[in-house]
Structure 1
Amino acid sequence: MSRYVVSLSLCLCIKWILCGTVSVPKLTELTEDSFARTLRSGKTSFLYFGNQVSPTIGLFLEQLEKSADALQDYGILVAKVNCSKIPVLKYCTNEKVMKKAYLFRGSDLLKTFGTDTVFDVNAIVAHVLFTVLFDEVKSVETQEELRNIERAVKGRADIVLAQLPMLGLPEHRAVMEAAFVYGAKHQFVLTKGGSLERLGIEDPDSPGSHLWFLHCREVLRQSDPCQHTTLKKPLTTLNVYTFLQLMETPLVTEASVDPSDVKTVGSHLHAPLLFLFSQRETLALDRVTAETLGWRLRGEVAVVLIHRDSADVRTPVEYNAAYRLPAEGSVIKYFNLKSIEEVVNLFREDTVQEEEEDIDEDWAVLDVLDDEVVESVYRDRDVELDVGLVTELTSDTFSKAVQESNTAVVLFFVRWDAASLAVMQSFKEVADALEDIADVQLACVDCGEWTDVCSSQLIAAFPTVRMYWSGGLPHTYTGMLGTESLLKYIMLSLAAAPVLLSSSQEVQSFLQGDLFHTQATLSPTRVVGLLSSSQDSGWPMFEGAAQALRGETLLGLFADQQAEQWAKDHNVKLPAILVFRAPDSTIKAHSLQLSSTEQLVSDIQKLLLDTFPELTVENLPLYLELRKPLLLLFLGPEGDEEQGQGLDRRDAREELHRLADTSLLDTYVPCWVHLGRTPAGRAVLESYLGSIPQLPALVLSQLASGGEVFHFPSESPLNSDTVLQWLHRVERKEEQPAGLVLDEKWGPSVPFYDFLSIMDQEVPGYAAQKTPKMTKNMVGEKGSDEEPGHSNRTPSTKKHMPQQEVPTSHQHSEF
């Protein structure tokens, strides 16, 4: 009975959509008595528990208030509980700002939602109804699951199949509202994506949400397929309701009256009507034509077969068809039907054009802005953010947390940023890996919520990972943000910087990896600074360099008279550094001219670079900074090379490696790329030469000076002599470039929005913000953790200056 009441409510709702708006009731706040009655009633309720309101929660409460009217039609109460008045155990937590809403059936908790999941009225209605109808609406991920449902309902019910790449959007709400009304009649099935070809459904040409009606009720044999009808219009509540109503109408309606007198279900559904005129002699053939058109246009047009022999039909005999559009005052237009395709195109030309315009408008920005990271995060946006073992910090807990931890690693992020959410997954995995290490705490700060914390720490980009050490200056991580790179950085950071060595035996143990064995396995290169004594003027420079390079490599410092012997054994003068490279166990010594910490850091970083490195996405920037031409040897996966140059992959690499160890290639950066481990190298090689050449391939890329690309001749043997001769010919301009890399500007794909000005246009002064007060950093002095080149990155506050003081974003108001 409740379903019929809701069906009537939906009709009234659709009438409201067409005619106008109504006022939204104020969100109910439950008292202690009404809260108890709600739980005892056994009815469904959606409740938010809270006591203080931040700007984010304020926006959520506005949306919750709007959803109250919509969910009331389905018998669901939407309300809030003030925890400062009714401290409900379990739901009223100690958090300052509570970010969860709860769905109850009576006193039973059905599901908990994060407020970022139920972010607006459409998301609230969609998720609540989805949970309420969980046992009725099937959710499938594979084609086999879908086939099993199809087999189960054949002969009993039809299927309404909705493909929804993302949940919580208006399309999801439209489907769930339809499922609430028609769920007892049809089997509703949701899928996030994937091919539907095994059901005979072609993949849609356009992205987004789609809906199909599978006619399975009349299919009696399992071997017979269910025919399907596609909803061609946008997936809205009105369009879905109209579509399902049309599915219940006969395929073809027969009438013996004039078209102007025909009354069908399609008439009150505002659907186009197609009239086909028949006579006694051709009735059987005309019925076949009508049924064919009925299937082709099902869900879009109501087909009526008019018996012309009736005296009530006044249509001129020269026409055999007519149609009437749903627009008010639309007249009946007569024409001669020559082919079925002609009639189908007649109705679809206008709708297809409108559809394409809507798709272009809705998806244009996503098409140009989305990359793989954005796509994956956006697809999973309905999943509540779970930070796992990562501690969430606020303005009240940040200072204490970083000051009391020996090592604190903090991720500064915003929830609406795709890269931030992707890095959070890596951060959680790192936290799991470091769970047993007591001295390390991983934490995060939501800068969208705790703007004061991020402002005081001068966070100007998201995501940002920063390391805080007890007694040391904070250090911003600038490496790759994957799990492996983050874990390596943190583990290397746990070693002292520098590691103070007191004897020759300790120096040897440090270089061989016996000291700090765990970190040594992560860093194949170790560095030891040699000074004559701890009073040497270079001591503070080495300490500063060790701090700057913390997390990148292990750096030891040996300041003793025995350092003279080490220097003498390696033919260098103090001050000097020893560089140990594994796995070949070679130690190379270099004398230093100490002038500044920055210069020492630069010198060490250059010495850490390999003479013949494997180029990867991670280390490419380090070698590009040298501003030298890249001499690239491209190698395919094992067994993928051809033997045209008389060398296999190993010979080619070893030949170039021997050449790199000499001083003959000092003006170049000789390196190699493994196309199996670095698939991006294949795209680079193809962009260089226009196609993938025979492998191994040697290429000279002069990115820093004109962008010319030269390809070593495939027919020539690849050895030291031929490579040097070829490079000399390139230098003398005797070789023609095989390609050119244009110096293109990589600007934003689309113009940026000035959100503040847009907000001010809507509500003048709404976006105004006061100039932040210059306060001391929450950890250390202001600017102490600022990196070179980032001193001017604080957002400008010159615009939108208010005339008077306004509260900060975290001066909470009473709930």
Structure 2
Amino acid sequence: MKTEVAEDPQQVSTIHLQLGLPLVFIISQQATYEADRRTAEWVAWRLLGKAGVLLLSRDSVDMDIPQHANVAFRRAEKEVPVEFLVLNDVDLIVSYVENNMYIEEIQEDEDGVQKGPDLAIQDDEVAETVYRDRKRPLPLELTVELTQETFNSTVTTSDSLVLFYATWHAVSMAFLQSYIDVAIKLKGTSTILLTRINCADWSDVCSKQNVTAFPAVKLYKEGESPVSYEGMLGTKDLLKFVQLNRISCPVNIASIQEAEKYLCGELYKDLLSFTSVSVLGLFSPAMTSAKEHFREVGKQLRGSVITGVYSEDDVWILSNKYAAPLPAMLLARPREGRIESVPLATAPVQEMVQILANAPLEAFPEITVENLPAYLRLQRPLLILFSDGSINPQYRNTTLALVRQKQLDSFTPCWLNLKNTPVGRGILKAYFGHLPPLPQLLLVNLHSGGQVYAFPSAQSITEQNLILWLKKLEAGLENPITILSDQEWKPPLPAFDFLSMMDAPTSQAPTKKVEECMKEAEGQETAEQPQGGKSATRRLPTEMLRIKHWNRSNWPKEAAEEPSQLHREL
């Protein structure tokens, strides 16, 4: 962000004005430049979060600046002219800005009328939330406020969840409400201490903890590296993160009986409401390298998925039962009564991370604004049913049957309830030009060409009809109802690019492939058989459960070669 300007203050545009904050210009000239720059820095620190501070060069501005003026003050409102002032020290400048802001707040309270932005047309929902709830009292006493003196002693003596925030930051203040909601839900039950530190007051502490963006949440446990929360900024996902971190992952499973309880969900019944899948790594005692790689992946994904390790001499019993050649991992979905196996002998570490990260995703989810990014990251066309309410159980059963048969591996089958997610109406109007009859089954190819296809409304959605329709699409025998534009919709300023801020960076894992795993697997093929009998282990295709990609050459010729941009209306 620029800190020095050489133009008419009335024409300067910064993010502060767009956030409704005033601008303070320290008027400088060549002879006193260094002193003026230091003054601007002091004022900026004192007014952090309250106003923007810029250095204005008197010598370079093509306008008349009063000779004795050393400060210019510009309010956020466009119609108000710039004020030129004579304020001879930092305290006077800070007092002037704070007193003007205070008068505006008092005036609003006395009138009893909200003179802020029109909440009905607010473009920034975060700012709207903060503005609407600015006078809502929060029970901050449910969390411990940390300072530079108490931070280290707290996080080293107890399992602590720390919220790093800034009181001048709108997203921080909106998320603080969710953080307090989590504290309310966990009151008297959690072994994890919920704390917070205001980085506007204790910036040194936040810098030492590598906090470079707000808000940030980190979990500190004795003897372990801090774990950063990378989920959605809401109560539900944060509560899940806290609850799943009550146990140390990966969990060491001690016996076959305990492993079976783990897989069916009995071992951690109280956590079933927070996760739909449990992952169990199977390794022979000699597979130390593969086991360590799996442990490292499990640590990276703590708080998002439960992982466990079984590595006893009788591991072959589970290997044979679930047709999982060692090393392998089992993905257990207790609610659905399904256990899937994934071979790890040829899987690079990064692929293992991706499989585990995608493991909590449902086979046939209801798409919402919150979970859509997770499913879009699969980079597969959406096979999406738009419904005005709950979907027909027959269609759900049809879809799940095709999923079990692996007929839909190239797609992301899902549905959208217009009553829960009203934006779906606007999406349908954009596709059809009007709101079509519901339910409506579409295939939306967001990542390669942007085509949108509609299932024939005259046909019933059966397994046979759905498979035949998808084969016609693959052969290029159907025409799309529309092709999404590849126009890129960028935010007006980088600071408004909230979607990129929400996208958690891909976990950094070792890049080398687990060659040791392959060698160990080959060496164990015969050694792990039960005594006195033929091997009951059945080899499965190594590509099992790998994500297949739609063959782009099968799309119609008019499809664009480059991937289309994410359809922003979704």
Bin the TM-score by the shorter chain: 0.5 to 0.7
Partner amino acid for 1:398? Answer: F
Question: 1:682 is matched with which residue?
Answer: 425
Q: Which residue number corresponds to residue 450 of structure 2? A: 707
Q: CA 1:619/1:689 → structure 2, altered by over 3 Å: closer, same or farther? A: same
What is the aligned partner in structure 2 of residue 468 from structure 1? 220
Q: 2:490 aligns with which of 730, 747, 750?
A: 747
> Aligned pair 1:414/2:166, yes or no?
yes
Counterpart residue type for residue 219 of structure 2? M
CA distance in 2, matches of 1:598, 1:473: 20
Q: Cα distance, 1:430 vs. partner?
A: 0.9
Shift of 1:491: 0.3
**Alignment partners' CA distance in 2, 1:438 and 1:664:** 44
Amino acid aligned to 2:321: D
**What does residue 724 of structure 1 align with?**
467
What is the SS of the residue equivalent to 1:429? helix
1:788–1:526 distance in 2 versus 1, CA, 3 Å? closer
Q: Percent identity?
A: 34
The one-letter amino acid paired with 2:355 is: D
Quote the Cα distance in structure 1 between the aligned partners of 2:396 and 2:494.
46
Greater shift, 470-479 or 381-390, is seen at: 381-390
2:125 equivalent to 1:372: yes
1:457 is matched with 209
Cα distance in 1, alignment partners of residues 426 and 237 from structure 2: 24
Give the direction of change, closer, same or farther, for the CA distance of 1:584–1:438 in structure 2 (3 Å limit).
closer
The alpha-carbon deviation at position 119 of structure 1 amounts to 8.2
1:595, CA displacement in angstroms? Answer: 5.2
Q: Which moved more, 1:567-576 or 1:382-391?
A: 382-391
Give the 3-state SS of the residue equivalent to 1:120 in structure 2: helix
Q: Quickly say closer, same or farther: Cα 1:488–1:514, change in 2 above 3 A.
A: same
Match of 1:247 in 2: none
- Alignment partner of 2:415: what SS? strand
Is 1:547 aligned to 2:299, yes or no?
A: yes
Look up the SS of the partner of 1:522 in the other structure: coil
Equivalences for 1:385-396 in 2 at 5 Å? 387-396=140-149
Q: 1:633 aligns with which of 371, 385, 403?
A: 385
Higher relative contact order (CA 8 A, sep 6+): 2
Structure 1 residues 119 and 377: CA distance shift in structure 2, 3 A: farther
**1:383 shift after superposition:** 5.9
Q: Give the aligned CA root-mean-square deviation in angstroms.
A: 3.4
3-state SS of paired residue (1:409): strand
Does residue 1:191 correspond to 2:116, yes or no? no
| Residue aligning to 1:536 | 288
Aligned-partner Cα distance in 2 for 1:585–1:577 = 17
For 1:685 and 1:123, locate their aligned partners in 2 and report how far apart those are by CA, in whole Å: 45
Q: CA contact under 8 A between 1:368 and 1:750: conserved in structure 2?
A: no
Instruction: Go from structure 1 to structure 2 and tell me whether the alpha carbon gap of 1:602 and 1:509 turns closer, same or farther (over 3 Å shift).
Output: same
1:652 partner letter: Y
Residue 368 of structure 1 contacts residue 749 of structure 1 at CA under 8 Å; is this kept in 2?
no
1:600-611 alignment runs, 5 A limit: 600-611=352-363
* Structure 2, unpaired ranges of 5+: 1-41, 52-93, 497-504, 510-570
CA distance in 2, matches of 1:57, 1:736: 60
Alignment CA distance shift 1:788-1:576 (3 Å): closer
* C-alpha distance in 2 between matches for 1:378 and 1:56: 24
How far is 1:597 from its partner? 3.7
| Cα separation, partners in 2 of 1:55 and 1:533, compared to 1, 3 Å | farther
Pick from 242, 256, 269 the counterpart of residue 490 of structure 1: 242
- Residues 471 and 787 of structure 1, relative CA distance in 2, 3 Å threshold: farther
Question: What is the one-letter code of the residue matched to 2:112?
Answer: T
Q: Match of 1:673?
A: 416
Secondary structure of 1:472's counterpart equals: coil
- Asked whether the equivalents of residues 614 and 674 of structure 1 are also in contact (C-alpha less than 8 Å), the reply is yes
Helix, strand or coil for the counterpart of 2:294?
Answer: helix
| 3-state DSSP of counterpart to 2:289 | coil
| 1:568 aligned onto 2:320 | yes
Q: Secondary structure of 2:401's partner?
A: helix
Match of 1:578 among 309, 330, 335: 330
Question: What's the counterpart of residue 693 of structure 1?
Answer: 436
SS of the residue 1:443 aligns to: strand
Call closer, same or farther: CA 1:623–1:58 in 2, change over 3 Å: closer
SS of the residue aligned with 1:616? Answer: coil
Are 2:402 and 1:650 aligned? Answer: no
- SS of match in other structure, 1:538: helix
Give the letter aligned to residue 588 of structure 1.
E
The alpha-carbon deviation at position 669 of structure 1 amounts to 1.7
Q: Which residue of 2 aligns with 1:424?
A: 176
Identify which of 161, 166, 185 aligns with 1:433. 185
Partners of 1:389 and 1:596 in 2: how far apart? 44
Work out which of the two has the higher radius of gyration on C-alpha atoms and give 1 or 2.
1
TM normalised by structure 2 equals 0.66
Query: Which amino acid is the alignment partner of residue 121 of structure 1?
Result: N
Which one-letter code corresponds to 1:392 in the other structure? E
Cα distance in 2 for residues equivalent to 1:398 and 1:621: 34
Report the counterpart of residue 554 of structure 2 in structure 1.
Answer: none
Q: 1:172 aligns with which of 104, 108, 112?
A: 108
CA shift at 1:516, angstroms?
2.5
Q: CA deviation at 1:453?
A: 1.6
Change (3 A) 1:589 1:750: closer
Deviation at 1:691, TM superposition (A): 2.8
Decide whether aligned partners of structure 1 residues 395 and 730 sit closer, same or farther in structure 2, where only a CA change above 3 A counts.
same
Q: Under a length normalisation based on structure 1, what TM-score does the superposition of the two structures give?
A: 0.47
Counterpart CA distance in 2 for 1:751 and 1:524 is 36
User: Is 1:120 aligned to residue 56 of structure 2?
Assistant: no
